[in-house]
Amino acid sequence: MNNEEEYYKRIIYASLRVGFIFLLLIWSFLIIKPFVMLLLWGIIISVALYPLFKNLSKKLGGREKLSSVIITAGLLTGLLVPSFFLVDSTVSSISELAGKMETGTIQVPPPDKEVAQWPVIGKTVYETWKLFSVSLEDAVEKFMPQIKEAAPEVFSLAADLGTTVLLFIFSVLIAGVLFLHAKSAEKAAKSIFNTLIGNQSENFVLLSAKIIRSVVQGIIGIAVIQSLLAAIGMWAIGIPAAGLWALIVLLLAIMQLPPVLILGPVAVYAFTITGTTPAIIFSIYALLVSMSDAFLKPLLLGRGVDVPMLAVLLGAIGGMILSGIIGLFVGAVVLSVTYKIFNALLVEDVLEQEPSDN
């Protein structure tokens, strides 16, 4: 009886200890939960750009702090300049549109009859476009319920964009700090993998780094290039809110959807606001931008790890649903890393279970 009571006491004691530790972990997670995406994106940036950091440090004579400052400043510049362009072009277009609506000088050109021949959506697009070209006031009045319903979401999206830019800035600063603590971070990563996986921790750390660089360079990098090229083309031809359309191109490209979904209709609209020759040139340019991933992917992914596009797509969409725009970037990377590590674990497990030929 005494042994049984002692046994139960040990169970209760162990349960209390486990429960207390579990409570601390849950509590700690709730505290850092608002910063999880921020930290993850900072880690992803630092891992992806670490080879650049090391090469620059060598060229600067081993001055790692200076190298970190240069890369961080470059990233912030590359982030803030397009953000300013996005906000400026969007605000200017909205102000111009509001001014024309107040003075009654706004005119929507009539649609081409070929628009009605578009598959699935052609007839609806043609009739709606024609209504706006004939009487803008009647069109606005007809679609006023939809406009009122969509307005709060549009303002919410604008607020999210501002928040996202701030999150990106903080993530870049975190990445700059992590550059200087790469060795201790690598040691911590190996320790975590060693605890969770076993003696293959070093291999899995290297695999994770390769996957992160592959996704950032081959997926996100290509998406950024395509969006910048799209923005330049739309700005050059005078497309209203070019920065906003370029942002949508960026989101589509990360989700592995062709930019032509946006650039196609924009090219059609270009024929209504400019001459035939510039519009044709822009249409060809838009097609080249949409097809650019065909030669950019082999260039940027040539030395990386092959990542299934489905994992990237699901990660991007799920991440955006979970955490907004920044989740689009983080989700694509995290799900890709998870898939490849899980696949590597399965392969390793199968290999261990296969009987030897000897």
Q: pLDDT value at position 156?
A: 62
Q: pLDDT value at position 82?
A: 77
Cβ atoms of residues 244 and 230 within 8 Å: no
Tell me: pLDDT of 354 over 60.
Answer: no
The amino acid sitting at 112 is D
Confidence of residue 355 (pLDDT cuts 50, 70, 90): very low
Tokens of 254: 């990360």
> Which residues are within 8 A (CB) of 236 and not within 5 positions of it... i.e. 6 or more apart?
282
Residue 261 lies in a domain: yes
Residue 97 lies in a domain: yes
Average pLDDT, the chain: 77
| Between 67 and 92, the higher pLDDT residue | 67
Q: What is the mean pLDDT of residues 138-161?
A: 64
Tell me: pLDDT of 103 over 70.
Answer: no
Q: pLDDT value at position 105?
A: 58
Residue 12 lies in a domain: no
Q: What is the mean pLDDT of residues 344-350?
A: 62
Of the listed ranges 20-24, 60-64, 122-126, 191-195, the least confidently predicted one is 191-195
Residue 296 lies in a domain: yes
Tell me: pLDDT of 358 over 60.
Answer: no
Q: pLDDT value at position 165?
A: 78
Q: pLDDT value at position 357?
A: 45
Overall domain count for the chain: 1
Confidence of residue 329 (pLDDT cuts 50, 70, 90): confident
Residue 5 lies in a domain: no
Instruction: Quote the domain boundaries for residue 234.
Output: 36-351
Q: How far apart are CA 127 and CA 113, in angstroms?
A: 10
Confidence of residue 13 (pLDDT cuts 50, 70, 90): confident
Residue 3 lies in a domain: no
Q: pLDDT value at position 126?
A: 75
% the chain with pLDDT above 70 = 73
Tell me: pLDDT of 99 over 70.
Answer: no
Q: pLDDT value at position 157?
A: 59
| Between 218 and 174, the higher pLDDT residue | 174
Residue the block writes with tokens 């955490």: 323
Confidence of residue 353 (pLDDT cuts 50, 70, 90): very low
Residue 46 lies in a domain: yes
Q: pLDDT value at position 160?
A: 65
Which contacts qualify for 266-273: CB closer than 8 Å, 24 or more apart?
A: 266/234, 266/239, 268/112, 268/115, 269/239, 270/237, 270/239, 271/112, 272/109, 273/109, 273/237, 273/238, 273/239
Residue 22 lies in a domain: no
